[in-house]
Structure 1
Amino acid sequence: MTMMKTARIHEFGDASVIRNDTVPRPRPAFGEVLVRVAATSFNPTEAALRAGMLQAFLPVDLPYPLGWDVAGTVAEIGAGAQGFAVGDRVMGWLDSGAAAEYVRAPVAVLVAVPDAVPLANAAALPLAGLTAWQAVLKHGKVAAGQRVLVNGAGGGIGGFVTQLAKYAGAEVIATAGSRSAEAVQRQGADRVIDYTAGPVGSSLDGPVDTLLNLVPMSPPDASALAPLVRPGGRIVSIATPVESAADAGVTAMHMVARNDVAHLTALVELVEAGVVAIDISESRPLTDLADVHRLSEAGRTRGKVIIIP
């Protein structure tokens, strides 16, 4: 029996519950391929899952193998799996298990990785990129000539949100801390507001057309953002909902990203064309995954961190 390394949790708790286990290498089921993992990427929501905070609406069984994003090469083809061959470079968003040397993956959620894109870096794209795509283009309906405020642009999703809003032709005003301000400017923000310097509204010279909120915050702080949007504008939040007054004429919604291969394919095309860049802030080995969780929860990570098995 061939064995492999994987990162799993056997109980909910702090980052110390993450274990590096040795388990049998899986075999692909019907409609699946086995992917030799080049990298997964860390998403802060995985820390919330690890802590047990998501069990009410995203219940998982234990032991639970970590890792949602995957990039790698096809190592084995399961029965009924079509569209890929052994050796193909692929990426996708999985339900679990990408923090490992190998993982089973349904072909229905995979897309090809172009040769021009470093394979390990591609692992940073699926969940964060899809969230950004749907926030900016599907729900935010960002268009040329609009003023867009990206609240929390320094995170992994924020980098893609900023770039996609610029791609759509908007003027982008982004909030970020000093650690990420330079990266946010590099990603195309026309103006960066230091969120630690005071209320965001005090630094704006007029209302915006669209607010894209990526930051968990208290309900009162979230409510304070709503008046920054003009009547007829839009608010899309992937974190704390930002409610607008009923008579303000603002469309407000809280969104949860959907795994959509068509959106991911379109996003990959923009990456291949050089329109969207994958900004990797750090690369860490699988054995460091618990440390990455700790750093994220302490607010000490920036952008996307990839994990190499």
Structure 2
Amino acid sequence: MSEAESSPVTAGSAPPAGSGGRAMMTAVVAPQYGGSEVLRVESAPRPAPGKREVLVRVRAAAVCKGDVHLLTGTPYLIRLMGFGVRRPKHRVIGHDLAGEVVAVGADVTDFRPGDAVFGSVTAGAFAEYVRVPVDTVAPVPAGLSFEQVAAVPDSGMTALQGLREVGQLRAGQRVLINGASGGVGSFAVQIAKALGAEVTAVCSTRHLDMVRGLGADHVIDYTAADFTEIDRRFDVLLDLVGNRPLAACRRILTPTGIFVSSSGAPGGNWFGPVLWLGKVVLANLFVRQTLRPLLMRPRRADLEFLTELLENGAVRPSIERSYPLVEAAAAIRHIENGHAEGKTVLVV
């Protein structure tokens, strides 16, 4: 994604032509690390697709926790991983998107202009146009809106990979999902049911009805009970919160159960959950149960699998709030505050 260099624009205004006649677009830009207050709506040069990329006219983009991490630059470790030490390398944030292909790279043969697609990028989705690797984009499922499918990629693939690949969940098994009402959790409940599992979901009081509506067989209100102290045992525990000790989580697993962690106890601004995930990897060497971290990798094959679930009605995106693109700062604040229900989407 090209960096934005021009002056701010207001909602509804047409992006001006750039120097040399280069086409421009409206984008949400983070010129420095910080909270939602650093975001600006600016005019930026429209990107061009690389050889194995498609240029997408964004119609909707979802907000996820990863966007907040890239905006704030915390934990600081991510700055040393190629995202910019002093300021963001990618000034336009945003991972998930849905829209229409307007141009394709020289080596792209499976998409053409006019195709409706959804997918995931490293950054750049909070804009009118974004270039997307062809391997992380797929056709929009039939019968779903851009807004609905934009909510799917990051959270849907994280839930799918955590349950099916890392957790090796099979039909007839018992799974517990800690953090069932959030973006990933809302997909995890439905995907686990689609895979034939018996699902126990953990969430707060105000999300109980929502999680039951997603199909959970059992729901635990964590404000009233500690899920690690129940008598039931589980084949898979998908932990999306990291608010309970590892030993306590192991206690509710079967002797050969699998603990899957995508979050963990805070490790400060430098390392965040990395220390916790390292502890999970180390502990796995000394126990019979399997303890694994979850690091999602965007893949078109997973988007296509999710497409089947979306088209047959086994999975539906749970969208709590939608904002126009120019109100991206408000959407980020909603995620920053925590306890969001399902997904938050920007409409372009």
Please report the TM-score for the alignment, with normalisation by the length of structure 1: 0.93
TM-superposed deviation, 1:54: 4.1
Q: How many residues align?
A: 306
Structure 2, unaligned stretches of length 5 or more? 1-21, 265-276
Counterpart CA distance in 2 for 1:286 and 1:182 is: 30
Counterpart CA distance in 1 for 2:195 and 2:53 is: 35
Identity of aligned residues (%): 37
Q: State which of 214, 219, 222 in structure 2 corresponds to 1:192.
A: 219
Q: State which of 22, 32, 38 in structure 1 corresponds to 2:53.
A: 32
Q: State which of 300, 304, 309 in structure 1 corresponds to 2:343.
A: 304
TM-superposed deviation, 1:247: 6.3
The alignment yields a C-alpha RMSD, in angstroms, of: 1.8
TM-superposed deviation, 1:125: 0.8
Letter in 1 for 2:126: A
Q: State which of 238, 245, 253 in structure 2 corresponds to 1:212.
A: 238
Check whether the contact 2:135–2:299 (CA below 8 A) recurs between aligned residues: no
Structure 1, unaligned stretches of length 5 or more? none
Check whether the contact 1:72–1:120 (CA below 8 A) recurs between aligned residues: no
Check whether the contact 2:70–2:93 (CA below 8 A) recurs between aligned residues: no
Q: Rate the CA distance shift 1:52–1:184 in 2: closer, same or farther, 3 A.
A: same
* Partner in structure 1 of residue 181 of structure 2: 154
Counterpart CA distance in 2 for 1:238 and 1:245 is: 15
Matches within 5 A, 1:94-173: 94-173=121-200
Check whether the contact 2:284–2:291 (CA below 8 A) recurs between aligned residues: no
Q: Rate the CA distance shift 1:45–1:222 in 2: closer, same or farther, 3 A.
A: farther
* Partner in structure 2 of residue 232 of structure 1: 256
Check whether the contact 1:31–1:82 (CA below 8 A) recurs between aligned residues: no
Please report the TM-score for the alignment, with normalisation by the length of structure 2: 0.83
Check whether the contact 1:49–1:55 (CA below 8 A) recurs between aligned residues: no
Q: Rate the CA distance shift 1:300–1:290 in 2: closer, same or farther, 3 A.
A: farther
Letter in 1 for 2:24: M
- Asked if residue 60 in structure 1 is aligned to residue 83 in structure 2, the reply is yes
Q: Encode CA deviations 1:195-244: one digit per residue, 9 max, x unaligned.
A: 11132133x23221111100143xx6344222111211110111114846
Matches within 5 A, 1:253-264: 253-264=292-303
